[in-house]
Amino acid sequence: MLNRRFIAVTALLAASMAAGAQTRTSLKEAYRGNFLIGAAIGTPQITGQDSRGDAIVEAQFDAISPENALKWERIHPKPDTYDFTLADRYVAFGEKHHMFTVAHCLVWHNQVPDWVFRDDKGNFVDRVTLLKRMHDHISTIVGRYKGRIQSWDVVNEALNEDGTLRQSPWLKIIGEDYIAKAFQYAHQADPQAQLTYNDYSLEIEAKRKGALALIAKLKAQGVPVTSVGLQGHNSLTWPSVEDQDATISAFAKLGVKVVISELDIDVLPRAAQHPSAEVSLKVLEDPKLNPYADGLPPSVQQELAQRYADLFGVYLKHRDVVTRVTFWGVTDGDSWLNDWPVKGRTSYPLLFDRSGQPKPAFQAVTRAAADVKTMN
C-alpha cells in the first residue's frame, strides 16, 4: 500500500516537473490577452493514462482539440449507433480544467465510414438521403454538447491543392452546397458555437485563392462561418513568413477570425512532393528519411526554436484576428509525424520532448510574447 502510494507520488512529481516547475511562465500565461494556446489530445490524455501529458496540458494550455475522438468513424460507427464514451470524457476534461473546448470534425472525406454514402446494395445514396444523414449526425452531436463545446470544425479539407473543390463523396452526391448546409445544420444545433472551415496548405497561393473564394461566397450567402482554420503543418522552410502573413491578412479582410488549428513544424527531410497533410499519403521507409533517430542535433534544435519564434511573431502581429493557436499534440512522442508519411520515424515537431521537458522552441515561443509586451 505504502509502496503504491510512493510510486503514485513519484509519478505525480515527475509529471509536475515536466509540466512547469522548470518553466517559469506557462504558454497560456505568456499569451493571455493575445490568443488562446491549445493542444490536441488523444485517448491517453483524455482517459488519464498519460498523467505526464495531462499535467503538461493542464499547466500550459487553455484550449483543447480532440485529435481523433470526435471523428465520424469513432462517434458514429454504424447508422443507428453513436458511441459517446470517449467524446463525453473529452468534454468533461475541458470543463474540469475550464478550457476552451474545440471539436474536430463534422464533415470530412477521411475517417468517415463507407455506409454514410451507400445504400443496402452498395450504391451511392441520393442527395436527399445524404443530406438527411449529415443533418442527423450534426444535430445529434452538436446538440448533445450544446454550450459545452465552444468551437466546431464543421467542414475539413474540402479543397484540392489547385483551389478547386475536392471530388469527395460529399461533393459528388450532394453538390457544392454541402458545405453551406453543414454550417447551417451546425448553427441550428448550437447558435452560440463558433464554426470553422479548416484546411491545410492554405498558404499556397492557388489553394488560398480557392479558400478565399469559398469563404467569400459563404459569407455573401449569409452562411454562419465564423473562422478559418489554417492547420499549420509546417516545415523549417515552409511557409515563408511573408506567405503566412499574407494568408492571415487575406482571410481577415473577409471578416472571419483566423485560428492556427493544428500547428507543428517538421524538421525531418520532406518525403512528400508538396507541403501537405493528406493523410492517405504513404512513403516507404528509408533510413535517409529518418536522420535523427538517436536525437536532434543542437543546431537543428536552435533552427526549430527560431522558426517557431518567427511564426509566432506573425501570429502576434495579427492578434486582433488570430483567436487561437493549437499545437497538434502535446509532446514529440505523441505526434502523428512519427508515422506520416513514412512509418516509424523519430520526429521533433512540438514544444515538449519525449520525456515531457520543454525544448528551446518552448522558450522561443514564450519569449516572442514577452517581446511584444515590452514593445507596447
277 near ligand 9MR, rule: CB under 6 A? yes
Is 262 in the active site? yes
281 near ligand 9MR, rule: CB under 6 A? no
Which of 50/67 has CB closer to ligand 9MR? 67
CB atoms within 10 A of CB 166: 13
231 near ligand 9MR, rule: CB under 6 A? yes
110 near ligand 9MR, rule: CB under 6 A? yes
Gap between the Cα atoms of 238 and 29, Å rounded: 28
Choice from 336, 348, 352, 362 touching ligand 9MR (CB under 6 A): 336
Helices (H), 221-322: 241-253, 298-317
Give, in order, the Cα–Cα distances in Å from 210 to each of 114, 150, 161, 203, 204: 27, 27, 9, 11, 10
Residue located via cell numbers 470534425: 105
Residues with Cβ within 8 Å of residue 294, at least 6 apart in sequence: none
Choice from 50, 58, 262, 266 touching ligand 9MR (CB under 6 A): 262
Is 157 in the active site? yes
Nearest residue by C-beta to ligand 9MR?
336
Could you tell me the three cell numbers for 361? 522552441
Q: Length of the chain, please?
A: 376
Residue 237 identity: T
The answer to whether 75 and 87 have CB atoms below 8 angstroms apart is: yes
Choice from 279, 283, 289, 300 touching ligand 9MR (CB under 6 A): 279
Residues 130-169 vs ligand 9MR: string with x where CB under 6 A?
A: --------------------------x-------------
Q: How far is the CB of 336 from ligand 9MR (least distance, A)?
A: 4
- SS3 state of residue 331: strand
Could you tell me the three cell numbers for 2? 505504502
334 near ligand 9MR, rule: CB under 6 A? no
Gap between the Cα atoms of 162 and 181, Å rounded: 24
263 near ligand 9MR, rule: CB under 6 A? no
Choice from 67, 203, 303, 332 touching ligand 9MR (CB under 6 A): 67
Q: Which of 58, 67, 203, 262 is catalytic?
A: 262
Name the DSSP letter for residue 336. Answer: G
* Bond before 105 cis per omega within 30 degrees: yes
72 near ligand 9MR, rule: CB under 6 A? no
235 near ligand 9MR, rule: CB under 6 A? no
Q: How far is the CB of 250 from ligand 9MR (least distance, A)?
A: 21
Contact set with ligand 9MR (CB under 6 A)? 67-68, 110-111, 156, 200, 231, 262, 277, 279, 336
